[in-house]
């Protein structure tokens, strides 16, 4: 899932402002692939374990003393609507743990620029349920 300019983003009790995008990636943590003696192509594949990671990219105007730290746990929630209106607005949320925080600095046409990328891992409530819940 890729969300550009979500309306509202919160992590635990802190609101994150100036979020330009949120990317939710899902990847196999463990895979089972099997072949037969009949040819070079797999005949069976399964992904018994998967990992859901989330990247949040923010534009920064100044330092953030309340920036998250690796290991910090909380609920990530963000609101999305197709036309940036109340119509069709949905909230996505998941329990997450911060894996890392990275800053990139640059020089733009209007002077210095800074972005903060926060990487999180989403946690399932019981191991079988999808980490993200969606409601209107």
pLDDT tens figures, 14-62 = 999 999 999 999 999 999 999 999 999 999 999 999 999 999 999 988 7
| φ, ψ of residue 20 in degrees (nearest 5) | -95, -30
- The answer to whether residue 16 sits within a structural domain is yes
**Residue 117 burial class via C-beta count within 10 angstroms: exposed 0-12, middle 13-18, buried 19 and up:** middle
E strands, 36-89, where?
42-59, 73-80
- The answer to whether residue 24 sits within a structural domain is yes
- The answer to whether residue 127 sits within a structural domain is yes
Q: What CA–CA distances, in Å, run from 92 to 47, 97, 130, 131?
A: 24, 16, 12, 10
- The answer to whether residue 36 sits within a structural domain is no
Q: What domain range includes position 99? A: 2-30+47-135
**Structural domains counted in the chain:** 1
Confidence of residue 86 (pLDDT cuts 50, 70, 90): low
* pLDDT of 83 over the 80 cut: no
- The answer to whether residue 75 sits within a structural domain is yes
- The answer to whether residue 41 sits within a structural domain is no
**Residue from 93, 129, 100 nearest 12 by CA:** 93
């Amino acid at each position: 899932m890729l969300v550009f300019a979500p309306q509202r983003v919160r992590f635990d009790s802190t609101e994150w402002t100036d979020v330009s995008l949120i990317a939710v990636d899902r990847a196999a943590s463990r895979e089972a692939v099997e072949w037969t003696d009949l040819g070079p192509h797999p005949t069976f594949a399964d992904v018994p374990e998967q990992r859901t990671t989330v990247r949040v990219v923010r534009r920064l105007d100044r330092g953030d003393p309340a920036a998250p730290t690796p290991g910090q746990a909380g609920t990530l929630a963000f609101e999305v609507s197709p036309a940036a209106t109340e119509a069709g607005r949905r909230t996505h949320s998941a329990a997450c743990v911060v894996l890392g925080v990275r800053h990139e600095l640059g020089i733009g046409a209007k002077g210095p620029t800074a972005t903060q990328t926060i990487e999180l891992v989403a946690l399932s409530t019981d191991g079988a349920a999808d980490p993200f819940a969606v409601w209107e």
